[in-house]
Amino acid sequence: MKKERILAGLLLAALAVLAVRAAVGWPVSQEAVPVVLDVSQPFYPVYFGSRENGLLAPEFHQGTGTVEEVLAHLLAGPSLEQLISVIPAETVLLGYRQSGETLYVSFSHHLVTNHPGGSTGEILTVYSIVNSLTDLDGIEQVQILVENQVIDTLAGHLNLQRALRKDHTALGSSVL
Amino acid sequence: MKRPALIAFFLLSFLLFSPSLADASLKLFVDDVEVALQRDLVMINGNYMIPLWVFAEHLGAQVQVDQSHLQIVFPDQTIQMQLGAEFALVDGKEYKLEVAPQLLDGEIIVPLRFMADQRHLSLTYIQELNGFRLSRKAPRFSGLGSLLSGEGLGAPTEGGEAQPVGSEREEKEPGASVVLYEPSTERGLKEIAFLGGPRATIFLDLESYTGYQTYLLEHPARLVIDLYGVNGDPPPALEVDSPVVSSIRASRFDEQTLRVVCDLQAPTGYQVLPAPEGGLTIEFNYQLTALQLEEVEGNLVLSFASSAAPEVHTTYLQNPLRLVLDFQDTTLMTRSFDLTVNLGPVVRFRAGQHSPSVTRVVLELSEPLASLPIEERAAGSFIVPLFQGTASDLAAYLRTQQDQRSGGEGTELLPVQEGVLSGLVIAVDPGHGGSDPGTIGYRGTFEKDVNLAISLYLGELLSEAGAKVVYTRDSDVYVSIFRRPEIALEAQADLFVSIHVNSHIERGRARGTETLYRAGDPISERFARIVQDELVKAITLIDRRIWGRNDLAVFNGSDIPSILVEVGFLDHPDEEVLLRAPGFQEAAAQGIFNGIVRFYLENKR
């Protein structure tokens, strides 16, 4: 299972590097933000929205990745130009707690109040969080809280009364 | 000799319908003598008026005014008129006047053209002198030249304004002078030809003429054309087989006037045009009949019958909201009408003859409505398709249609048999509502309103097809997403259809139609695929495919085959205008309905 993941990760990373190089021109200029991954070292994905379609696409970061790091990247937004932030403006992290394989993450109310809505928008926001965090070891599902409370839904479509598992259907394959 | 008369006609039309000229200080000459006018010539309803005293002082008439009764006695003719009355008696024969004689600032004025006609005076407009000339003389088409050459007018006895003009003497086109009437000899009407065509055209082959007057009369319907300055024998009468004209006959009216009478099936507006090669062309209006507002396959159309499609000019007016359609070159053959209706957004429907050549149709609206170009439905039968939305909505819709028209697929209505869905219970779930507006478009459109509108259209179609429809909400109220599947379960619904419109996280980023279904349920998946197919076919937005999901609250609460349709993206400016438009909402409902019927029929087998 982990082996497959690493292989998939390597492939994605290679594609990402190629795409970034193709996007910014060869050779990579000094300003071009990240992302020359050393694939022999650990790296982890953080998911953002694709500019190309309504799906999620990963941005890779070197390291093993922690919950704080992943959440910090999510809230800060992507470095890659092809990606867009999917967390509503002004949203801040209020805290998180892991219980077994479930991670509870609490955001400020802006996650809901500043969200534009739409099932596509809601899926992007929720699964950028869920997919990014469930790629970390030991986390299988994520429950999103708002102002430390369980919520029914973010934008009126997804059932957020419960923890969610990684959603592969929200992942685009044609992005990078 | 023809050309000046033609030019005369053009310039006369220009002159008489050009209000700016009415303001200029026009002069009047009788023969070559300028009349000392007390005040400017007045134009009333397109007719120049002449002071009555001019006939006494310059044209040898005895004028008697008794109360309101006017008597103008010439040695050979007596003309009687009444102040304020639109008729005149010429030697006891009654004539209709376009404008009644009237008293203006202590002066009695009478219609200039009528008087010139009756006296067989040539009436000429001379641009350089900015004035009319009434002349008893023989034909003089070089009238301008003679005026400018100083022949008689070189030193006007009154009003020296003419003088400087003579100094600017130069070769002028004859078009500079307008001969409105000029007696002459040796002119004839060679032939009357009925050219037919969609506008029933008649051609009068005239060697020349000096003027004409037309009258459209009723009982029986006929168009009378008096051709002045035309002598010779009238050509034989012509029997015509046309929906407009039945026969055309000519007779001598008097020495200088040939009268052509076109017998009409019904009074029809017309236009007289001097033909470039000489002669006169009379074009009758398109006859507009069977003007109706109707619904054809769920679409509102304005239908009418005519020999061909006329040009239509549309205007929008506010307060109240109205769509005005002016059918050019048409005569409304029915009575004008003004109906209170309740057809789509149309609350009042009226039509009438707005001007001799324009039929005006006014649709008073509760919501915006736009018109599409005329389509011919069958020979002689036309429709103006109407689109429920503003003109910009329509433009956006057409743009999207054009973008998407690649596969050549149209919206095909399924041949729905009556009661095809009977026995079926369908839960229709308009997304959001009440305190939850859903997503909000650029123009402030609430998703909840669009969802409800489409859902209600859909529900109507489903009910008509015999299904029992259960709405999770049928008004603007908040219903929890967890409660919605329960409502469907309680009603023992066979199918659950949730209606939404979408938004991307970055506004305006995405567009198109997608359908979500309960992941892992092959029936829901098949249902979604067929509905998505039919919906995309109906509204031709981008096909964003179907997606299986197991995390939607409305899918979690039941095991009913369930789909959630995202019709389009409300955060995309183009799609927002579509989603707001009732016509588009109906098309979307129709597409979803087609999908439901197809799914049901295919699944039944």
Are B260 and B294 contained in the same domain?
no
pLDDT at residue B180 above 80?
A: no
- The residue ranking higher by pLDDT, B351 or B176, is B351
**Quick one: how far is CA B375 from the chain centroid?**
15
Asked if the C-beta of B438 comes within 8 angstroms of chain A's C-beta atoms, the answer is: yes
What pLDDT score does B465 carry? 92
> How much is the average pLDDT of B208-222?
82
Residue B323: what are its φ and ψ, rounded to 5°? -110, 120
Six-digit token string for A95: 């805290």
Residue B420 lies in a domain: no
- Our CA-based measurement puts residue A27 at a distance from the nearest CA of chain B, in whole angstroms, of 30
Q: Do residue B506 and residue A84 have CB atoms under 8 angstroms apart?
A: yes
Distance CA A130, CA A124 (A): 10
To which H or E segment does residue A75 belong? Answer: helix A67-76
Answer whether residue B165 shows pLDDT above 70.
no
Instruction: Point out the residues of B that are catalytic.
Output: 566
Same domain as B339, residue B230? no
Nearest CA in chain B to A127: B551
Distance between CA A46 and CA A33 in Å, rounded? Answer: 15
A170 part of a folded domain: no
pLDDT at B157 over 80: no
Residue B403 has a pLDDT of 56
Q: Which of A115, A120, A131, A161 to mutate to test the interface with B (most CBs of B within 10 A)?
A: A120
Q: Would you say B233 and B224 are in contact if contact means Cβ atoms under 8 Å apart?
A: no
Would you list which residues of chain A are within 8 Å, Cβ to Cβ, of chain B? 49, 51, 53-54, 84-86, 116-121, 123-125, 152-153, 155-159, 161, 164, 167, 169
- Cβ <8 Å between B514 and A158: no
Where is the domain boundary, B148, B179, B210? B179
More confident of the two residues A79 and A3:
A79
Total number of domains constituting chain B: 4
Do B452 and B584 have their domain in common?
yes
* Residue B158 pLDDT exceeds 80: no
Q: Which of B226, B251, B284 is the last residue of a domain?
A: B284
Residue B295 sits in the same domain as residue B273: no
B82 located within any domain: yes
> Does residue A107 lie within any of the structural domains?
yes
Q: What is the pLDDT at residue B163?
A: 34
Distance (Å, whole) CA B310 – CA B2: 32
Distance (Å) from the alpha carbon of B345 to chain A's nearest alpha carbon: 29
Residues B236 and B159 in one domain: no
| B495 occurs within a structural domain | yes
Is the CB of residue B64 less than 8 Å from the CB of residue B169? no
Residue of B nearest to A83 (CA): B506
Of residues A84, A125, A156, nearest to B431 (C-beta): A156
User: By the CB < 8 Å criterion, does B341 face chain A?
Assistant: no
Looking at the structure, tell me whether residues B245 and B344 fall in a common domain: no
Question: How many Cβ atoms sit within 10 Å of the Cβ of residue B417?
Answer: 11
Are A119 and B564 inside 8 Å of each other by CB? Answer: yes
Minimum mean pLDDT range among A117-126, B256-265, B338-347, B415-424? B415-424
Q: Considering only residues A15 and B76, tell me which one the structure prediction assigns the higher pLDDT.
A: B76
What pLDDT sits at residue B508? 83
Across the beta sheet with B337-343, what order do the strands follow? Answer: B312-317, B322-328, B358-365, B346-355, B337-343
Using CB atoms, pick whichever of A121, A158, A167 lies closest to residue B505.
A121
Q: What is the pLDDT of residue B25?
A: 75
Residue numbers of the domain that contains B111: 2-179
pLDDT (average), residues B407-418? 50
Classify residue A82: in a domain, yes or no. Answer: yes
Position A172 scores a pLDDT of: 53
Tens digits of residue pLDDT in B81-139: 998 888 899 888 888 887 889 888 888 999 888 888 788 777 777 766 777 888 775 43
Q: In angstroms, rounded to a whole number, what is the distance separating the alpha carbons of residues B257 and B273?
A: 19
B501 shares a domain with B458: yes
Q: Helix, strand, coil proportions of chain B in percent (round to 5)?
A: 25, 40, 40
CATH of the domain at B592: 3.40.630.40
Residue in A49, A159, A164 closest to B505 by CB: A49
Facing A159 at nearest CB: one of B547, B551, B569? B551
Nearest to B571 among A53, A84, A116 (CB): A116
- Do B89 and B73 contact (CB within 8 A), yes or no? no
Model confidence band, residue B167 (pLDDT cutoffs 50, 70, 90): very low
- How close B602 comes to chain A (CA, Å)? 28
Choose between B10 and B443: higher pLDDT. Answer: B443
Count of CA atoms in the C-beta half-sphere (13 A) of A138: 9
β-pairing verdict for B280-284 and B87-90: unpaired
Residues B372 and B266 placed together within one structural domain of the fold? no
**Mean pLDDT throughout B266-281?**
82
Is position B149 within any domain? Answer: yes
- Chain segment B292-317, per-residue pLDDT in tens: 998 887 788 999 998 888 988 888 88
Distance (Å) from the alpha carbon of B445 to chain A's nearest alpha carbon:
13
Residue B553: which of A121, A159, A164 has the nearest Cβ? A159
Domain total in chain A: 1
Backbone angles phi, psi at B281, to 5 degrees: -110, 130
Report which residue type is found at A122. E
Question: Does B559 lie in the same domain as B508?
Answer: yes
Does residue B156 lie in a domain region?
Answer: yes
CB B289 within 8 A of CB B382: no
The CA distance from B329 to the nearest CA of chain A, in Å, is: 51
Residue B394 in domain: no
End-of-domain residue from the set B229, B263, B284? B284
Of residues B349 and B159, more confidently modeled = B349
Q: Dump pLDDT digits (tens) for B383-396.
A: 998 888 877 777 77
* Pairwise CA distance, residues B450 & B467, whole Å: 23
Looking up residue B276, the CATH number of its domain turns out to be 2.60.40.3500
pLDDT at B377 > cutoff 90: no
Whichever domain contains B25, its CATH number is 3.30.457.10
Contact list in B for residue A159 (CB cut-off 8 A) is 481-482, 551-553, 556
Q: Both tokens of residue B72?
A: 């103008």
Angle in degrees, CA B440, B446, B450, rounded to 5: 125
Residues of B in contact with A158 (CB under 8 A): 551-553
* B409 located within any domain: no
Instruction: Tell me the C-alpha distance between B399 and B174, whole Å.
Output: 52
What's residue B600's pLDDT?
Answer: 92
CB of B518 within 8 Å of a chain A CB? The answer is: no
Whether A54 sits inside 8 A of B544 (CB atoms) is yes
**B188 in contact with A at a CB cutoff of 8 Å?**
no
Most confident among A12-16, A126-130, B507-511 (mean pLDDT): A126-130
Digit-coded pLDDT (tens) for B553-571: 999 889 999 999 999 999 9
Q: How do B286-296 and B330-332 pair as beta strands?
A: parallel
Q: pLDDT at residue B29 above 90?
A: no
Instruction: Provide the shortest C-alpha distance from residue B426 to chain A (in Å).
Output: 20
Question: Mutate which of A111, A129, A157 to test chain B, going by most B C-beta atoms within 10 A?
Answer: A157
Percent of chain B topping pLDDT 90: 32
pLDDT at B458: 96
**Closest residue, chain B, to A56 (C-alpha):** B505
Orientation of helix B522-539 relative to helix B582-604, angle to 10°: 140
Cα–Cα distance for residue pair A113/B325, rounded to 1 Å = 46
Distance CA B391, CA B369 (A): 7
User: Is it the case that residue B171 has pLDDT exceeding 50?
Assistant: no
Interior/surface letters B135-152, b for 16+ CB within 10 angstroms, e for the rest: beeebbbebbbbbbeeee
pLDDT of residue B272: 84
Best of A83, A119, A144 to disrupt the B interface by mutation (most B CBs within 10 Å)?
A119
Tell me the pLDDT band of B523, cut-offs 50, 70 and 90.
Answer: very high
Q: Which domain holds residue A114?
A: 2-165
Indicate whether B17 pLDDT > 70: no
The pLDDT tens digits of the residues spanning B32-64 come to 888 888 888 887 876 788 999 898 888 888 888
Encode A84-133 in three state secondary structure.
ECCCCCCCCEEEEEEECCEEEEEECCHHHHCCCCCHHHHHHHHHHHHHHH
Q: Is residue B443 included in any domain, yes or no?
A: yes
User: What is d(CA B386, CA A42) in angstroms, rounded to the nearest whole number?
Assistant: 63
- Asked if residue B535 and residue B454 are part of one domain, the reply reads yes
Q: Which of B166-170, B190-194, B247-251, B288-292 has the lowest mean pLDDT?
A: B166-170
- B558 lies in the same domain as B444: yes
* Token couple for B112: 């200039």
Cβ B505–A124 below 8 Å, yes or no?
A: yes
Residues B80 and B220 in one domain: no
Location of structure tokens 């305006």: B508
Collapsed DSSP state (helix, strand, coil) of residue A13: helix
Domain assignment present for residue A175? The answer is no
Q: Average pLDDT of chain B?
A: 81
Residue A172 belongs to some domain of the structure: no
Residues B95, B98, B103, B109, Cα dihedral to 10°: -80
**B329-371 pLDDT, tens digit each:** 898 888 889 899 888 889 999 998 888 888 999 999 998 888 8
Percent of chain B with pLDDT over 70: 83
Q: What is the pTM of this model?
A: 0.52
pLDDT in tens, A73-97: 999 999 888 899 999 999 999 999 9
Identify whether A171 is part of a domain. Answer: no
